[in-house]
Amino acid sequence: MKILTTLFCGALLISGAQAAPFAKGDPTIGKALHDKACISCHASMFGGDGSKIYTRADRKTRTAQQLAARISGCNANTGAGWFPEDEAHVAAYLNQQYYKFK
């Protein structure tokens, strides 16, 4: 019985994590970080305000895990100096604004 209870609780935790992939992030903080560190680079690549990187038909980011990895890569490549919690905030903002991963 203990094994079944443990398995059931584990399944609930996993399904809860999938329902909110960036639950630990704050989109408001993420927007401020994004606006400060991301817009100028994305605008130079795509023009305008740079948001086309998120909305283009051939966008490369298709899952929450890919989004987190891209944010981490950009952080490292640009020297933004974000901590993991900062990356989670940016992911929460981008997910809320553009991606809508569940």
Indicate whether 2 belongs to any domain. Answer: no
Domain range spanning residue 91? 23-99
Indicate whether 41 belongs to any domain. Answer: yes
Helix, strand and coil percent figures for the chain, each rounded to 5: 70, 0, 30
**Number of domains into which the chain is organized:** 1
At residue 20, the pLDDT reads 84
Nearest-angstrom CA–CA distance, 96 and 76: 23
Nearest-angstrom CA–CA distance, 67 and 5: 33
- Residue 15 is encoded by which pair of tokens? 């399904």
- What is the full per-residue pLDDT of the chain (102 aa) written as tens digits? 455 444 444 444 444 445 589 999 999 999 999 999 999 999 999 999 999 999 999 989 999 999 999 999 999 999 999 999 999 999 999 999 999 999
Indicate whether 12 belongs to any domain. Answer: no
- How far is the first Cα of the chain from the last one, in angstroms, to the nearest whole number? 31
Indicate whether 69 belongs to any domain. Answer: yes
pTM summary value: 0.80
Indicate whether 4 belongs to any domain. Answer: no
